[in-house]
């Protein structure tokens, strides 16, 4: 039976929000949670959820999509989480709810649940975020980063060198983020400004938790990264190795290659 809190993703088949009938789960169900879609999902970040749900299905698994709103409990079963960017006011709005879920979220991160947190949610997964007005918003501390809001924004296309190959996206953030000692970045900037336009780093990664400023959204433009997240989630969900299908990503591959060539020429 479906969870009444599940909602259909715009543009996705209605079945995307329903647990499969017993015996029709394909390779298994993967429960995907989109954190704060109303407050923290601008600059196209909803596309990451739609991309994951579509690729989970194309790989032969069943996506079960949950949207988490302030004041609601988190779903009991979670294999994959995504969060996006928002205004500073949005971050303040979700702060109290995030604090109530902090212990569960930290435990999920330690257990290896893959998480992709973009922009504002990346900042909130760090140690703290100080808005441009001086308001300090404490973070979860899952990533050892601190962020200071600034009047000048960092905007434009980005190319990164990462463990998932070249990653392309679009940054739009006023926060300047600094990595703690020993914190691995998500990538090294080949084009763009990254965490702070000073140290050549972008984002942060700890275990299967990735924080990044790349919008776009990032996953449709970088299928290899999307499949890494799905692979980790599939192994958690089924207890078996990820069994991907061979997908036709030719359009995405050509778009990715042209963007890299255009920005690095």
Annotated binding site: 153
Q: Distance of alpha carbon 86 from its chain centroid, rounded?
A: 13
51 in active site: no
- Closest to 223 measured CA to CA, from 41, 68, 109, 52: 52
Contact at 8 Å (CB) between 195 and 213?
Answer: yes
Q: Which residues pair with 238 in a beta bridge?
A: none
Q: At what angle do helices 102-110 and 88-100 cross, to 10 degrees?
A: 80
List, as residue ranges, the binding site for substrate. Answer: 153
Contact at 8 Å (CB) between 167 and 214?
Answer: yes
119 in active site: yes
What φ, ψ does residue 114 adopt, rounded to 5°? -70, 140
Tokens matching residue 226: 């999307």
Tokens matching residue 16: 């995307």
Distance CA 222, CA 170 (A): 12
Catalytic entry in 31, 66, 215, 256? 215
Catalytic entry in 51, 119, 208, 256? 119
Distance CA 206, CA 229 (A): 13
Q: Which residues are catalytic?
A: 119, 215
């Amino acid at each position: 039976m479906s969870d009444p809190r599940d909602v259909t993703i715009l543009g996705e088949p209605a079945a995307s929000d329903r647990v499969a009938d017993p015996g029709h789960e394909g390779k298994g169900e993967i429960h995907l949670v989109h954190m704060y879609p109303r407050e923290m999902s601008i600059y196209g970040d909803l596309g990451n959820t739609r991309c994951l749900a579509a690729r989970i299905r194309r790989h032969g698994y069943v996506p079960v999509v949950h949207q988490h709103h302030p004041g609601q409990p988190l779903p009991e079963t979670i294999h994959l989480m995504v969060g996006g960017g928002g205004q500073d006011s949005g971050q303040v709005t979700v702060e109290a709810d995030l604090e109530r879920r902090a212990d569960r979220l930290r435990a999920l991160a330690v257990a290896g649940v893959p998480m992709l947190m973009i922009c504002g949610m990346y900042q909130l997964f760090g140690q703290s975020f100080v808005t441009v007005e001086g308001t300090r918003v404490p973070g979860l501390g899952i990533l050892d980063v601190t962020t200071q809001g600034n009047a000048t924004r960092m905007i434009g296309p980005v190319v990164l060198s990462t463990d998932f190959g070249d990653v392309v996206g679009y940054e739009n953030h006023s926060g300047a983020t600094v990595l703690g000692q020993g914190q691995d970045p998500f990538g090294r900037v080949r084009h763009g400004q990254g965490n702070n336009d000073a140290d050549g780093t972008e984002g942060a990664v700890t275990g299967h938790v990735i924080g990044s400023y790349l919008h776009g959204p990032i996953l449709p433009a970088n299928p290899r990264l999307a499949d890494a997240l799905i692979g980790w989630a599939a192994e958690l969900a089924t207890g078996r190795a990820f069994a991907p299908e061979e997908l036709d990503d030719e359009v995405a591959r050509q778009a990715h290659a042209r963007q890299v060539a255009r920005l690095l020429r």
